[in-house]
Structure 1
Amino acid sequence: MGLGSTAKKIQLVSDRAEQMYKQVQELQGRIVNLEEEVDDTHDTVKKMDHQLTEQRALLLALAEERGLDGEEILAEVAIDDLDDADDAAETAEETTDESSAPSGE
């Protein structure tokens, strides 16, 4: 093996290392941006959660002012939502069962 061949191999290794370094730098920048986006999303969710809590309190107060039991209404809605979710799950299960059944040909 001559010096020319060794120099060529060293140059190839050096080029690869430089490419990998650039990729790592790019990846690091993407991770930093992602962390910032996650932080922003977290702040937004916290604000929305706080606003939702305020709105719920306001709606319950309005319901009480009109002689309605807000908690009972919310419980009924939650039950209806569960029933709808159960119906959707059953429909999805039936569709899956029908599509996996033998065709009988």
Structure 2
Amino acid sequence: MGLGSTAKKIQSLSDRAEAMYRQVQELQERIINLEEEVDDTHNTVSKLDHNITEQRALLLAIADEHDLDGEQILAEAAIDEAEAGDDDASDEPEAADGETVGAENSA
């Protein structure tokens, strides 16, 4: 094996190493950006959660002023929402012959 062949192989390895280093740098930047976005999202969710807690307290106080059971109203709303979610989940597309798509035949 000649010196020229060895130099070409070393240059090729060096080029690949530089390309991999650039990729690692790009990935590191992307990860840092994602971490920042996750932190921002976490802060936003925390603020929204706090706002919802405050609004719930206000609504319960208003309901109490009007002699309404705020907890009962919220419980009924949660039940209605859960039932609506169940209805949406059971809505499967139907084939042209009226059978539910994806349902197994019981014949």
Is the structural similarity TM-score above 0.5? Answer: yes
Instruction: Verify: 1:75 aligned to 2:75, yes or no.
Output: yes
Which stretches in structure 1 are left out of the alignment for 5+ residues? none
Cα distance change, pair 86–24 in 1 and its aligned pair in 2 (3 A): same
Amino acid of the structure 2 residue aligned with 1:34: L
Which stretches in structure 2 are left out of the alignment for 5+ residues? none
1:29 alignment partner in structure 2 = 29
Structure 2: how far apart are the matches of 1:41 and 1:101?
Answer: 40
Q: TM-score, normalised by structure 2?
A: 0.86
Q: TM-score, normalised by structure 1?
A: 0.88
1:85 alignment partner in structure 2 = 85
2:18 alignment partner in structure 1 = 18
How many residues are aligned here? 101
Cα deviation, residue 44, structure 1: 0.9
1:40 alignment partner in structure 2 = 40
Indicate the structure with greater helix content: 1
Which of 1 and 2 has higher RCO (CA within 8 Å, sep 6+)? 1
RMSD across aligned positions (CA) = 1.9
Identity, % of aligned positions: 66
Instruction: Verify: 1:98 aligned to 2:100, yes or no.
Output: yes
Structure 2: how far apart are the matches of 1:101 and 1:33?
Answer: 44
Q: Deviation per CA, 1:47-91: give whole Å up to 9, x if none.
A: 111111000000000011011111000011111111111111221
What secondary structure sits across from 2:71 in the alignment?
helix
Cα deviation, residue 29, structure 1: 0.8
Q: Deviation per CA, 1:15-74: give whole Å up to 9, x if none.
A: 000000011011101111111111111111111111110000000000110111110000
Structure 2: how far apart are the matches of 1:86 and 1:14?
Answer: 59
Structure 1: how far apart are the matches of 2:20 and 2:34?
Answer: 21
